[in-house]
Homo-oligomer: A and B are copies of this chain.
């Protein structure tokens, strides 16, 4: 068999049965081989959709998908969402078609240095040298991708390696199970938790799912430690009946307040919080100087098993954790705002929904309004490269065909990978897309003040303004076959969302809302953002005092 067939069979033997694609000529043998394989090939119209979808798929399926991309430029188009996947520690196996090995010397039009681009996001980068070795290379890529930690692996596939004969699929691919952290480490962390100091535990990665949350909740209950979640979780389960966890805030000003006063911080599959950007005169590292930071386990270790061992070491196995009680926001009325949208979402959210949240400033009130909703999964923008939310929703819906996906998107962010809508329709994915259409890059209005560049004129303001022309997302959706409605009242939004939740298939709601922080002053930020609702009362008071206008 040819290389392409042996590659497909090897991937399938490894359990990689879904491939998000945007192929060109150099990938044609791979494409031709699809029919004789059990691989599901999901076509996208832009590579950033393919890579983001592979990310969303892996978050939910707990195994890698493959991507099929066309040379260095195809990889380039997919780079931003691979960056997000890298930061999320999500496994992806990229198959990047390349010119035939003997063709590269001629520097044809599409010739570029693919490996260099791939290194930006991939731990594993390898150009397969021969058809006979291709399957072995693919198995290595899969193993590296699988982790832990999950990684982006990039296998570059020259056309002649793909079309060459003598391909031999690998049938058995064994991945060694990760081990928990050492007993010594477990004991030393348990000791910290019993030393009476004020302790925070920061949860991330794989311990933000139900099992990890319950174990963490037991520890918190027994020891009095406070549970935090990393600022942008890869996947977090939350809602009624699960232990509540306070997420570190995006804004460093607020995160600093959240972490104030802790003597020690224990990291579980998370890294110590740092500021998203640097700001003149402000600290980048957000852990207080006097706070001691410890890690329960290393990245390559089994975080959940380590947590289980810690619970046993502490004797917390029978402790009953605090659980979130159920509540629904009251339904608002009148002209729609971002905050009211979040209230309505919280009021209507069905059980078991997967939320892909790239709502940006408009979504800032989502956590508080959904914290008492039925249990759901939350997927967030892990690497800061916007244009991730819609593709991640595509991937999550492919991975979980029986679950409803809710994609919350800022209007500016949505436009980077708007082609996602086409794939949603093509695959009839069960995704409700809400565009918070505030006609601005609203977050930049805040950031402009935060970096101290606040004396701005019209040319600068225009760089954040998306109102000229306004984008009509219902037209865009219809152009790609997706049913859509535009709303600007609470009643309209409520009815549209209710309908969307009760029917199958893709549906887009173009929610016209004012910018969340129009005319706000930086000093009033925490109040505007409503952080108080998250914070324990003493901290909220301290914050108010510190940052009052």
Q: Which residues of A contact B (CB under 8 A)?
A: 21, 23-26, 28-29, 31-36, 41, 43, 45-46, 48, 72-74, 76-77, 79-80, 83, 87, 99-100, 102-103, 106-110, 112-113, 116-117, 119-121, 159-160, 163, 232, 271, 274-278, 280, 284-285, 382-385, 387, 412, 415-416, 418-419, 422, 425-426, 443-444, 447-448, 450-460, 462-463, 466, 468-476, 478-481
Copies in the complex: 2
Write out the residue numbers on chain B whose beta carbons fall within 8 Å of the beta carbon of A87.
Answer: 109
Could you show 15 A-B contacts with beta carbons less than 8 Å apart? A32-B448, A35-B460, A45-B416, A73-B385, A77-B79, A102-B284, A108-B275, A116-B116, A163-B280, A418-B418, A469-B480, A472-B479, A475-B476, A475-B479, A476-B479
Contact A478 B481, beta carbon cutoff 8 Å:
no
Contact B277 A159, beta carbon cutoff 8 Å:
yes
Contact B278 A99, beta carbon cutoff 8 Å:
yes
Write out the residue numbers on chain B whose beta carbons fall within 8 Å of the beta carbon of A418.
Answer: 418-419
Which of B21, B112, B387 is A463 in contact with, Cβ under 8 Å?
B21
Write out the residue numbers on chain B whose beta carbons fall within 8 Å of the beta carbon of A48.
Answer: 77
8 A-B pairs with the lowest CB-CB distances in the bound complex, closest first: A469-B481, A35-B457, A76-B79, A475-B479, A100-B278, A73-B385, A103-B278, A32-B453
Contact A24 B444, beta carbon cutoff 8 Å:
yes
Which of B83, B119, B274, B466 is A108 in contact with, Cβ under 8 Å?
B274
Give the CA-CA distance A31 to B28 in the complex, in Å: 44
Closest to A427 in B: B468
Give the CA-CA distance A159 to B117 in the complex, in Å: 24
Contact B459 A35, beta carbon cutoff 8 Å:
yes
Contact B41 A462, beta carbon cutoff 8 Å:
yes
A32-B456, A110-B384, A444-B24 in contact; A160/B479 too (CB < 8 A)?
Answer: no
Which of B36, B83, B443 is A73 in contact with, Cβ under 8 Å?
B83
Write out the residue numbers on chain B whose beta carbons fall within 8 Å of the beta carbon of A472.
Answer: 478-481
Which of B113, B121, B458 is A112 in contact with, Cβ under 8 Å?
B121
A120-B116, A163-B452, A419-B415 in contact; A108/B73 too (CB < 8 A)?
Answer: no
